Each structure stands twice: as C-alpha cells, then as structure tokens.
Amino acid sequence: MSVFAQTLYPTFSLEILFYRSFNVNDTSELQEMTDDPAVTDAISFLSTPFTLDDATQFLKTCAQNMSVYMAAAVSQIIGLFR
C-alpha cells in the first residue's frame, strides 16, 4: 500500500480556495512551487535546487510521520502550510 493511500486530514474549502492533505499527484506541482531560491532559502529543510526526487521524498516523509503539511489550492497548488 502506498504511503499516500491514506488521507490524514479532512479537506475543507472556502468559496474559491480549498485545503487538503498532499497526495502523490502533487509531487510535480510541489517541486515547481518550491524550486526557487527565495523559497528554499526561507525554509531550512528544503534543498536548493528542490528536485522532483526531493518533492517525492518530502511527501513520503510527511505521510509516514503523519505531518500536518497541507496543500492550499485553487485549480492547482498555490501554497504549503503546516
């Protein structure tokens, strides 16, 4: 069973924005969003560059540790919060 198979936290939404747990389908969007020195310099546990492998490992670690990182999205991921 994939570590992404379970949803750790409920999805909740506002009128145009919703928050949900990350899943395996978010890997490339997470990588694109965070592969920027302005982001990786501000978040100490992200490497520079932040690769697709880094994003995959981050999401697996979050799922295994039941971390509280969630995705903020409209039609695509626009943020990460804890």
Question: What's the pLDDT tens digit per position in 17-45?
Answer: 777 778 888 899 899 988 999 988 988 88
Nearest to 31 by CA among 68, 59, 70, 63: 59
Inter-residue contact 48 to 41 (CB < 8 Å): yes
**pLDDT confidence band for 81 (50 / 70 / 90):** low
| Span between the terminal Cα atoms of the chain, in Å | 25
Q: What residues form DSSP beta bridges with 48?
A: none
CA pair distance 68, 62, nearest whole angstrom: 8
How long, in residues, is the chain?
82
Q: Quick: pLDDT tens for 49-71.
A: 999 999 999 888 888 877 767 77
The helix or strand, by DSSP H or E, that contains position 54, with its residue range, turns out to be helix 52-64
Q: Is the pLDDT of residue 8 over 60?
A: no
